[in-house]
Structure 1
Amino acid sequence: MVDCVVKDWQGAEVGQASLDLRVAKETSAAHVVHRALVRQMNNARQGTASTKTRAEVSGGGRKPWRQKGTGRARAGSNRSPLWRGGGVTFGPKPRDYSTKMNRKERRLALRTALVGRTDDLIVVADFADQLSRPKTKELVQALNRWGVEEGSKVLIITADRDENIYLSARNIDRLRHIKADGLNVFDILNADKIVITQSAIAKIQEVYGED
């Protein structure tokens, strides 16, 4: 169990919140999280890169010059991989890069990654009602009050999508906003600071708590 200080909109401490999640053993934690990260990045690949082999490149039907007597190296096709405009040897072809990982292991990796970032976790009271309209400037000021340095990569986790928070956050450089039931290993590990609301912690406990 991890206890975190809760800050209000102004940055003052207003209480405590607990994050109680089952994580991987210390000896295997890094391996599990790494596997989940590699899986996520592999599954994001389109796998559409394609090159033509010498059999697929157009042209090359005629022998460029006779076999002997020219003084040049013998050549059978001007579409050889050795020639400019020729085919590609061992080039990429469309393929599926996706890798599998069972659900329990994926969820264990998520919990382990999140608990491992508790030193960079900033728990705040729900602040959707503080933004009566989309206002990027006000959200930036709040992040500064919460202790987020300017230029840091920030991940904001809320229980549900609030339109004012979403519209206020989308113009901030290096900031990502996700819902509590949409956690992923890459965003958790990539952020310098993770700002999470109290209701999001409750939602995470509900969604990922038991396995």
Structure 2
Amino acid sequence: MSKAIVLDKDLKKSGEAQLPECYKGISSHNLYLYIKSFLASLRANSAMAKTRGIVSGGGKKPWSQKGGGRARAGSITSPVFVGGGVAHGPSNNRNYNLKVNKKQKKLALQYALLEKANANSLFIVDKIKVESGKTKDAYAFFKTMNQRNTLFVSQIFDEKTFMAFRNIKDCYLIDGAELNAYLVATFRSVVIEKSLFESIAKEG
């Protein structure tokens, strides 16, 4: 069974933690559906074109119905006129949200964690904390891991730790409430606090 790598206070390997048996055999389709839903929810939905009913003007017929030798026209807001409305243009009334139930979200996270464990990229530490609040100390912590593009997951991080990590390239700090399958799948490696890992494993 896949195992996470346990690190001591010096960030050296001190053991392994086995993932629950229920993580085995989860379909990758759950992760696909969650990521599809997550990215859809990020869409700004700001594209909009004015229809003939929204364009200003058009209160009077541009010319008489008959006698001019031209095609009849009822309003200059028609899409056939320059400056008129757009026919079948985009509307910001569109809903891009895709429903994913709680069970699929849970399975997607479990599958993402399993994949990281299989790649030896899931690490467990006692605590993610930078008491000094200095970026150089957080960077030293990050470099000691000898990983790149890393997601750090803390049970609850304090403001100093957040300030220390926020300007470091290729690493991202979140708390347990923000953990989701998309972030786990996106980053090359994941470092998670022991207490949080145990609670996730217990839920599994």
Determine the structure 1 residue equivalent to 2:99: 100
Percent pairwise identity: 32
Contact 2:133–2:160 (Cα < 8 Å) also in 1: yes
Determine the structure 1 residue equivalent to 2:29: 31
1:104-157 deviations in whole A, cap 9, x for unaligned? 12211111122122216241422446x3221211111221121123xx3x2111
Q: What's the TM-score once normalised by structure 2's chain length?
A: 0.81
Q: Which amino acid aligns with 2:3?
A: D
Alignment partner of 1:43 out of 33, 41, 44: 41
Unaligned runs of 5+ in 1: none
Would the alpha carbon gap of residues 9 and 68 (structure 1) be closer, same or farther in structure 2, given more than 3 Å must change?
Answer: farther
Determine the structure 1 residue equivalent to 2:15: 15
Contact 2:105–2:181 (Cα < 8 Å) also in 1: no
Q: Partner of 1:86: helix, strand, or coil?
A: coil
Q: Which amino acid aligns with 2:199?
A: K
Q: Which amino acid aligns with 1:22?
A: C
Would the alpha carbon gap of residues 31 and 4 (structure 1) be closer, same or farther in structure 2, given more than 3 Å must change?
Answer: closer
For 1:170 and 1:33, the matched residues in 2 are separated by 27
Contact 2:127–2:154 (Cα < 8 Å) also in 1: no
For 1:197 and 1:100, the matched residues in 2 are separated by 30
For 1:133 and 1:93, the matched residues in 2 are separated by 46
For 2:10 and 2:159, the matched residues in 1 are separated by 21
Unaligned runs of 5+ in 2: none
Determine the structure 2 residue equivalent to 1:113: 112
Would the alpha carbon gap of residues 23 and 11 (structure 1) be closer, same or farther in structure 2, given more than 3 Å must change?
Answer: closer
Determine the structure 2 residue equivalent to 1:180: 176
1:67-116 deviations in whole A, cap 9, x for unaligned? 67878776543222243322122221323322222221221111112212
Q: Which amino acid aligns with 1:161?
A: F
Q: What's the TM-score once normalised by structure 1's chain length?
A: 0.79
Aligned-CA RMSD value: 2.8
- For residues 110-189 of structure 1, the aligned pairs below 5 Å read 110-118=109-117, 119=119, 121-128=121-128, 131-149=130-148, 152=149, 154-189=150-185
For 2:168 and 2:153, the matched residues in 1 are separated by 15
Contact 1:122–1:146 (Cα < 8 Å) also in 2: no
